Amino acid sequence: MTRPFHHDTVLLTEAVSLLQAEAGRVIVDGTLGGGGHSEALLARGATVIGLDRDPTALAAASQRLAPFGDRFRPVLATFGRLAEVVPGPVDGVLLDLGVSSPQLDVADRGFSFMQDGPLDMRMSQAGETAAELITRLSEAELADVIYQLGEERLSRPIARALKAAKPSTTSAAVEAIKGAVPRKAWPKDTHVATRTFQALRMAVNGELDELGLALEALPQVLKPGGRAAIITFHSLEDRAVKHAFKALCGDEQASADPRRRELDARQPKATPAFRSLTKKPQTASEAELDKNPRSRSAKLRAVEKCA
C-alpha cells in the first residue's frame, strides 16, 4: 500500500547506526519529514523529539509514529531554534536537509519546475513566497541570490527576465528562465531552471542561516558522548557542515602563511570538543542508488562530542 505522504528515506541504516539509537537515548530529528529516520530510531528503542517547520509533514509523521506513544514528541519548529526548543542536552541530533518528496510532488506547494503551481516554495506555509521575494528584491539583489545560492553563471540575465515577467506561477518562472538562457547554454543533465529554483527555495526558507544556527547550537544541545549526523544534498550545504565540523574537532585548515603556521605549531593544543566519525562523508550504496536516484547526491557527515 502506498502512503499518501511518502518520502524515500536516504542513508537510513548509516544515519541510525551512527546515532547509536537504543533505549534510554534521546535523539532530536530536526527534519522529521515523512518520519522515515524517526521510525527507525524509535524502532531501536530511542526517544525521538521530531521537529519540522511544515505543519503538513508534522501531522503526517505524527500519525505514522503514533504507535510509539510518548517516546515520540512532535514539535512544530525550525531546527534553527534547536537550542530553544530542546528541553535539555540530548544524545543525538539528526538533520536530513532539503525538501521531502511530498513537498516537491504537490504542485500547489510551488517547489517544482516540473509542475504548474503558485510560485510559493515556503516549507512553513507562512511568510514571504518566492513570487513575493522576486517582487521585493532589486534586479541586482536577485542576481546575487541566484548566483550565490544556485551557483548559476547566468544569474544576471535570469534575474532581469524574472523581474520583467513578475511570475506568480512556477510555469511562468520556468518560461522566463528558458527565455533568458541561450539554448546552447542549457545544461545537458539537469533542467535549465534547476539552479534558479534551488536558489529561490533556499532564499525563501533561509536555509543556510537555519543550518548555521543549528551547527552553532550543537555544543550546547549535545551531552558529552552525544552525536550529530547531517545529510546534505548539494555542495553549499556540505561545505558549511564540513567546515563547522572541522572547527568543532579543532581541525582548522593550516594557514597558508609559513610564519603563521610556525606560530600556530608552537601554541599549546586545546583538547578538541568533538571528534569526527566520518573522515570522508558516507554516500549511498549501489543498492540504494538503484532504488532511489535522489540518494545520488546525499552526503552524510557525523561528529561526537567528547566526554
Stretch 167-206: interaction string toward ligand SAM, x if CB under 6 A: ----------------------------------------
Residue 74, interface with ligand SAM (CB under 6 A)?
no
CB of 122 closer than 8 Å to CB of 55? no
From 16, 25, 28, 36, residue interacting with ligand SAM (rule: CB under 6 A): 36
Stretch 230-269: interaction string toward ligand SAM, x if CB under 6 A: ----------------------------------------
Residue 96, interface with ligand SAM (CB under 6 A)?
yes
The position carrying cell 547506526 is 17
From 52, 237, 288, 304, residue interacting with ligand SAM (rule: CB under 6 A): 52
Residue 92, interface with ligand SAM (CB under 6 A)?
no
With H, G, I as helix, E, B as strand and everything else as coil, classify residue 277: coil
CB of 99 closer than 8 Å to CB of 72? no
CB of 151 closer than 8 Å to CB of 235? yes
Q: Crossing angle, helix 139-150 and helix 155-165, to 10 degrees?
A: 130
Strand 90-96 vs strand 222-232: parallel, antiparallel, or unpaired?
Answer: parallel
CB-hemisphere CA count at 13 Å for 24? 0
Q: Return d(Cα 48, Cα 93) in angstroms, integer.
A: 10
- Least spacing, CB of residue 142 vs ligand SAM, in Å: 22
Residue 120, interface with ligand SAM (CB under 6 A)?
no
Judged by the rule CB under 6 A, the positions of this chain that interact with ligand SAM are 7, 9, 30-31, 33-37, 51-54, 57, 78-80, 96, 98-100, 123, 210
